Amino acid sequence: MKLCLNLLIIFDILLKIAQPDTELYAQAATHYIKDIPMLASDAKTGTEIANELQLLSAIDREKRITAYILEGNFPDFMRQLVRIDVSVNKADGKSIKSSYFTMPDYLMVGTDVDFIRLPMTPNTAQFIADSLGFFLSTSKICDDIYHAAEIKLEPMPLTADRESFYTFLEHNRIIEDQRQERKGLIAGIKKDVISSSRLFASLNRVALYGWHQLDEKPIQPIYVGHADSYVDYSHGIRLIYQYLYVDGKKMHYKDVATDSELCNILSNDLDCRYYRYPILSD
């Protein structure tokens, strides 16, 4: 009987070891997202999608971009999220360690070998983020990602036809020439469309931040001067996975954002409320 009991105890220990511990999620350098549509073998390339989108109005273009992304027609490497480790201090001086996961690049359509990064309105970006189980970046997250990036490219501003779809494609080509097929977390190539508490006082606006230079100084401080319908080639959408780890505890970003002692994990604003862009109906 004692032998059987010991065997049961050993078996229970081995079973617990074999079971995945969700807290180990925060220890992985990357995390592969499987609960969103996979890239189909017959998925359209970025070139094919661009040829279709260039014929559409801005409104119809965003509808098609949304459809392609929600169908999973974006590179598989974008599903390989990168862990970002940060720490902040509570009011009592105690340090809090946190980990969150970001897509390695800005939102794009296409395949692993033929893709295009596409600017879009914050409303479209918010809808896509919500649908996939992600949230939009903040200025703090943008800084954190730049510090952690393996690939830091010099910003390449363009001045002519900033809102033209052709300029969107040309800027993507310039980035790819700079990247030279290097792989990993990339930064310095776009201004981030971000959530900012300033938007609570500036409704129907888009908040932009970033485009860090090689000296780590952003070209764009937080700016809310454009209407949320404004989109140009320099805008990028960085998606962050909705769950993060705080001192080993799995938490939803909304719970972190509304906790006065934890919200500085996501924001360095004095008012660190998280702003969600309204979803526009058809």
What are the DSSP calls for the chain, one per residue? -HHHHHHHHHHHHHHHHHSPPGGGGGG-SEEE--SSPPPPTTPPPHHHHHHHHTTS-HHHHHHHHHHHHHTT-S-GGGGEEEEEEEEEE-TTS-EEEEEEEE-SS--EEE-SSSEEE----HHHHHHHHHHHTEEE--HHHHHHHHHH-SEE-------SSTT-HHHHHHHHHHHHHHHTT--S-EESSSEEEE--GGGGSSTTEEEEEEEE-TTS-EEEEEEEEEETT---TTEE--EEESEEEETTEEEEHHHHHT-TTTGGGT--SSS-PPP-PPPPP-
> Quick one: pLDDT band at residue 27, thresholds 50, 70, 90?
low
* pLDDT given for residue 22 in this prediction: 56
Other CB atoms within 10 A of residue 1 CB:
5
89, β-bridge pairs? 95
166 CA to centre of own chain: 24
Task: Confirm whether 200 is domain-assigned.
Answer: yes
pLDDT at 216: 94
Q: Is the model's pLDDT at 245 over the cut of 80?
A: yes
- Reply yes or no on whether the pLDDT at 19 is more than 90: no
pLDDT tens figures, 2-12: 555 454 444 44
Compute the distance between CA of residue 200 and CA of residue 198 in angstroms, rounded to an integer: 5
Q: What gap in Å lies between CA 215 and CA 198, rounded to an integer?
A: 26
Give the CA distances from residue 11 to residues 6, 14, 74, 267, in Å, rounded to whole numbers and listed in that order: 8, 5, 43, 45
- Residue 225 has a CB neighbour count (10 Å cut-off) of 10
pLDDT per residue over 151-173, tens digit each? 999 999 999 999 999 999 999 99
Residue 113 lies in a domain: yes
Q: What's the CA gap between 14 and 22, in Å, rounded?
A: 17
Per-residue pLDDT band for 35 (boundaries 50, 70, 90) equals confident
183 domain-assigned? yes
Provide the number of structural domains found in the chain: 1
- Mean pLDDT of all residues in the chain? 91
pLDDT above 70: residue 14: no
What pLDDT is recorded for position 13? 41
CA distances from 269 to 29, 68, 228, 255, 257 (A): 28, 34, 21, 17, 12
Over range 192-198, report the average pLDDT: 98
CA separation for the pair 248, 260 (Å, rounded): 18
Q: Which of 183, 177, 170, 180 is nearest to 76 (CA)?
A: 183
Give the pLDDT confidence score for residue 32 in this predicted structure: 78
**pLDDT number for residue 253:** 97
Confidence (pLDDT) at 9: 46
Is 52 among the domain residues? yes
Q: What pLDDT score was predicted for residue 1?
A: 53
**Range with top average pLDDT, 33-37, 241-245, 266-270:** 241-245
Residue 21 lies in a domain: no
The reply to whether 202 falls in a domain is: yes
pTM greater than 0.85 (yes/no): yes
**By the 8 A CB rule, do 86 and 144 touch?**
yes
Whether 8 maps to a domain, the answer reads: no
Q: Does the pLDDT of residue 34 top 80, yes or no?
A: no
pLDDT tens-digit map of 74-100: 999 999 999 999 999 988 889 999 999
Residue 195 above 70 pLDDT?
Answer: yes
Confidence of residue 16 (pLDDT cuts 50, 70, 90): very low
Q: According to the model, what pLDDT value does residue 137 have? A: 98
Could you tell me if residue 226 is inside a domain?
yes
Q: What's the confidence (pLDDT) of residue 24?
A: 55
| 57-66, 86-95, 127-136, 184-193: segment of lowest average pLDDT | 86-95
Query: What pLDDT, on a 0 to 100 scale, did the predictor assign at position 239?
Result: 98
Boundaries of domain holding 260: 38-265
